[in-house]
Amino acid sequence: MLDDQGRVIHIDFGFMLTNAPGRLPGGVGFENAPMKLTREVLEVIGSDSNGAPSEMFDYFKVLCIQGFLAARKQRDRIVTPVQVMARSGFPCFQGGGDRAVRALAARFAPALSEGEVVQHVLGLIGDSLDSWSTRQYDYYQRVLNGIL
């Protein structure tokens, strides 16, 4: 990540690029939901694990759509620095830098119209609702870290 002075600052790009738990090469796929949308988060925004409508959940959806559309307009400013770093050897490119860049660019759904993007984002939210893989990964982390 670059700060306002152009300096590189640390952020864990692994989840965004290639080595998220659901995408570990040769590993067990844990987390494969598009975003973390747990029962607890849903409860806070007035929904349930099935995504029952509520004013706050509808607002959450609107914000997700607006955020996706805003990021999509700036996708070149996001993808280009990643492309420059793709051959750096950083662990976040362990699955292949060029492949990681292509996958990142594709996440912006550049071929979709704005109307299609709305449906795409709603689909991502639906796929994330109280995801089984999220619950399992969170359980694994609690056990691993001695929280249970």
Asked if residue 142 lies in contact with residue 148, where contact means CB atoms within 8 angstroms, the answer is yes
Secondary structure class of 2 (helix, strand, coil): strand
CA-CA distance, 29 to 137, in Å (whole number)? 10
Residue 36: which of 9, 62, 60, 70 has the closest Cα? 60
Torsion of the alpha carbons at 25, 19, 90 and 77, rounded to the nearest 10: 130
| Predicted TM-score of the model (pTM) | 0.78
What is the percent of the chain where pLDDT is above 90? 41
Average the pLDDT over 127-140 and give the result: 86
Q: CATH number for 21-144: choose from 1.10.1070.11, 3.60.20.10, 3.40.50.300, 3.60.15.10.
A: 1.10.1070.11
Q: What are the tens digits of pLDDT across the range 18-43?
A: 655 554 455 555 667 888 898 999 99
CA 61 to chain centre: 15
Q: What are the tens digits of pLDDT across the range 84-116?
A: 888 888 777 776 788 888 988 999 999 999 999
* Rg of the chain (C-alpha set): 17
